[in-house]
Structure 1
């Protein structure tokens, strides 16, 4: 195991103290044993240092999925084999899924894809997929207002009706994650016009993202995409009606790590704010 400079210095101090206190062959033997014990203790302390808390990207997903889904039926290969899955499916507050022949669980280490988009003045629609190699939940809103849920692993799926509003569809995806995305700082960005790294003011607050002289209203975007990986990192993509776009990448602690902006004309920023 490699040692950090701080751990190495602490180990050397403990070793020197023990050696200086050894005045006989016996004490030197004890010092050697204690040195090994000190090294082990230092490594154990370092290994037990608390990690920074991870951001809760999954709470809005679980809150949206929770509820009862009706008129469930088998689709795909299961339906072809004669499998019938009548009744209702229930997603509990803890992520457990049951009913209609379904047994699964939604957990924070699953991969998530959210897409919320609108065409002109039409109401926005949402698609949500939460999955790992054992289970998948999908929610889909159609332009005609019809909503469906899918449970299982393709091609063996159970499809159910969604009779309640989908929470993540009722507001922008930014609004659902504002508690993590809001920020105010100065970051270094590569300016595509000058090919130099500039200090650029960056702020997200009250639904508005500002970087340099570019401004984005995150509540009126024509499309938003959120991707949450099993590595507990999140990316947010937004596209404006005038075809400008932003991409914000958050680390497991909810801090901005990278940012890409394609603004008006040829204006673009590529920013890396990771340490």
Structure 2
């Protein structure tokens, strides 16, 4: 789906097509999560972070930019977790903006991990904050994780941003955390698990947002730690890009996600966060070199597991 925006002649390339282009060009489906915890930063940065919010935000920014430099050859995207930046107030948000812009400049797609979801003007404001151009500045991120549990009207502003601005969304369907089963595995009156019902909605929401490569810009988050659900999720959402967190520190392996790729090499993205960005803690290498080496290893294993 390539459509011109209302106020410009240049076409907007669908998020799903940008993903496909990046996967094919770089031969990787790896997404590196940027979850910068101050207590896990390298010592050279951790010392700065105790000097107050401005210094802490600057340390997070330096760390994430270093990780971007290290993993850019092996990843298609980074996924900054907004909460770690928001915890530092205005300084943290400025650091998030700087990191997103830096990653884009390095040729990476940016998936903001905000898990936003609300109704009416609040949902519109979230969509504007993350997915729409900001005056003369580009949008903060190419895509955003969203929470669908307020229903279809809460999704409308995000879907509008996909249509008008070429953005993408990843809808929480079956998450990787242990407590996800409490709600997502609950059984509805017709015998359908809640997560499977949400998967059906994702398919509906994305039907009119197919790119030229046949995939939708409305994707889904399905935890790699729940391998039994991956094949079923793919069958339920054949044209959705599935974002698979949980590889690495949460215990899932590249082999666990192979069934997600049956719709094509760019039909799924695999996220690894702590195992990559804090790889230096298990290595004698510099923190940047350790992150790059782990990203290279994972990218190769995921590509092989995908079978393409």
TM-score of the superposed pair, with normalisation by structure 1: 0.25
Is the helix fraction higher in 1 or 2? 2
TM-score of the superposed pair, with normalisation by structure 2: 0.23
Is the strand fraction higher in 1 or 2? 1
Q: Which has the higher contact order (CA 8 A, sep 6+)?
A: 2
